């Protein structure tokens, strides 16, 4: 077993890195410690880097296709990690999960149709719906026992014959919930009864902490599998978001063909050489690295949880089942969103995500990214502690 070093500091400045090099643009301050955008400060694993280097040595980067080993890597990973028997004929492609969401909305609905969004949630969901001229049907989560739960009664009251799609975040971002089979089944049955297709963003599905198990929405039942599509990617798991490559899985033959046409019209289905190589390498060789990553991230979380309990008890932490994105409740400080962001940037010099961007229920919250060497996290927490106390 090879030990991986997640404590190593890798300087990212000067690489056109959004997280570091765009600090002044996003925060108005180039000195903030950035724990916001959802990529990690760890090196991309060596087996992915080596696979890319090997392919780069062949000095023609022309048109390519995804071959048998690529599909085998995806199928094997889904079986191994999620107990999901995926067939090659279900596997499509998108240059990113958000791009896939947008193509799905345009493919399976028309302007003016209703699309269910469940806030607080990953904010591009709102942009995808508004940008395609669909109508947002808001079904906010309820907060119960320190976690979010679906509000099924609210959902049933708000949907109508014009509601065509539901965007599911599974696991949930920013709360970190891993949805149970019971929760997913009830949600999916409401959608089946009302002829609403589920578009499921499962990009964080590999980042599951011990004691929890990710359930792809398509595995709930055969009937539900025919009424959904699932978007996954190694981009968050293995820190390769810049390669713009995602896996789309659609068990229904007709829906699959429609999505393939939509991607094909823009000539986007081919992807890029190095994204394909990275997915195959990640899903073939990634087990041990991911195991060690999750152990490290959980220790980072425990450190953060202890810090807020002992140093800033007014801040309530939503305990995650998954992901390196942690949802922090600052509402006891009584600040408006812009005041809270201004204070964390100017007084603490820490760059976090504004909870208000995540929609209803996000006001007074901040999202922090703990996918970084522990020394960076400690520095950020110390800055927050000094400023808020």
Assign 3-class secondary structure to the chain.
CCCCCCCCCCCCCCCCCHHHHCHHHHHCCCCCEECCCCCCCCCCCHHHHHHHHHHHCCCCCCCCCCCHHHHHHHHHHHHHHHCCCCCHHHEEEECCHHHHHHHHHHHHCCCCCEEEECCCCCCHHHHHHHHCCCEEEECCCEEECCEEECCHHHHHHHCCCCEEEEEEECCCCCCCCCCCHHHHHHHHHHHHHCCCEEEEECCCCCCECCCCCCCCHHHCCHHHHCCEEEEECCCCCCCCHHHCCEEEECCCHHHHHHHHHHHHHCCCCCCCHHHHHHHHHHHHHCHHHHHHHHHHHHHHHHHHHHHHHHCCCCCEEECCCECCEEEEECHHHCCCHHHHHHHHHHCCCEECEEHHHHCCCCCCEEEEECCCCHHHHHHHHHHHHHHHC
| pLDDT at residue 363 in the model | 97
pLDDT for 154-194, tens place per residue? Answer: 999 999 999 999 999 999 999 999 999 999 999 999 999 99
Instruction: Return the domain boundaries, the chain.
Output: 18-45+287-388, 61-285
Pick the CATH number of 18-45+287-388 from 3.40.50.970, 3.40.50.10680, 1.10.8.60, 3.90.1150.10: 3.90.1150.10
- Taking the domain 61-285, which CATH number applies? 3.40.640.10
Q: Tell me how far apart the alpha carbons of residues 275 and 107 are, in angstroms, rounded to a whole number.
A: 24
Question: What is the Rg, in whole angstroms, of the alpha carbon atoms belonging to the chain?
Answer: 21
Confidence label for 8 from pLDDT (cuts 50, 70 and 90)? very high
Q: Could you check whether 18-45+287-388 and 61-285 share the same CATH topology?
A: no
280-328: pLDDT as tens digits: 999 999 999 999 999 999 999 999 999 999 999 999 999 999 999 999 9
pLDDT in tens, 341-383: 999 999 999 999 999 999 999 999 999 999 999 999 999 999 9
pTM of the model: 0.97
């Amino acid at each position: 077993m090879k030990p991986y070093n997640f404590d190593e500091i890798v300087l990212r400045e000067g690489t056109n890195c959004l997280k570091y090099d765009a600090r002044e643009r996003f925060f108005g301050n180039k000195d903030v410690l950035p724990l916001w955008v959802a990529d990690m400060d760890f090196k991309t694993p060596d087996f992915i880097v080596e696979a890319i280097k090997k392919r780069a040595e062949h000095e023609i980067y022309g048109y390519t296709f995804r071959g048998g080993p690529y599909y085998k890597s995806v199928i094997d990973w889904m079986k191994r990690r999620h107990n999901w028997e995926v067939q090659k004929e279900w596997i499509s492609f998108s240059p990113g999960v958000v791009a896939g969401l947008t193509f799905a909305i345009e493919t399976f609905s028309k302007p003016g149709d209703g699309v269910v969004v469940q806030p607080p949630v990953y904010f591009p969901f709102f942009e995808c719906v508004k940008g395609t001229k669909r109508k947002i049907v808001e079904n906010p989560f309820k907060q119960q026992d320190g976690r979010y739960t679906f509000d099924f009664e609210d959902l049933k009251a708000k949907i109508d014959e014009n509601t065509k799609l539901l965007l599911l975040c599974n696991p949930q971002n920013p709360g970190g919930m891993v949805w149970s089979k019971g929760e997913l089944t009830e949600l999916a049955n409401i959608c089946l009864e009302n002829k609403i297709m589920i578009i499921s963003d499962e990009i964080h599905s590999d980042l599951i902490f011990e004691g929890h198990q990710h359930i792809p929405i398509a595995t709930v039942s055969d009937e539900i599998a025919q009424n959904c599509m699932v978007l996954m990617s190694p981009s968050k798991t293995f820190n390769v978001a810049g390669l713009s490559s995602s896996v789309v899985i659609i068990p229904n033959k007709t829906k699959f063909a429609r999505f393939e046409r939509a991607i094909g019209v823009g000539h986007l289905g081919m992807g890029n050489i190095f994204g394909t190589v990275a997915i195959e390498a990640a899903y073939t060789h990634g087990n041990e690295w991911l195991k060690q990553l999750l152990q490290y991230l959980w220790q980072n979380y425990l450190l953060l949880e202890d810090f807020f309990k002992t140093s800033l008890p007014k801040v309530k932490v939503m305990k995650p089942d998954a992901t390196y994105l942690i949802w922090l409740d600052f509402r006891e400080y009584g600040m408006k969103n812009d005041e809270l962001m201004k204070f964390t940037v100017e007084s603490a010099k820490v760059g976090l995500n504004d909870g208000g961007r995540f929609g209803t229920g996000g006001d007074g919250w901040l999202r922090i990214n703990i996918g970084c060497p522990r020394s960076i996290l400690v520095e950020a927490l110390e800055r927050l502690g000094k400023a808020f106390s």
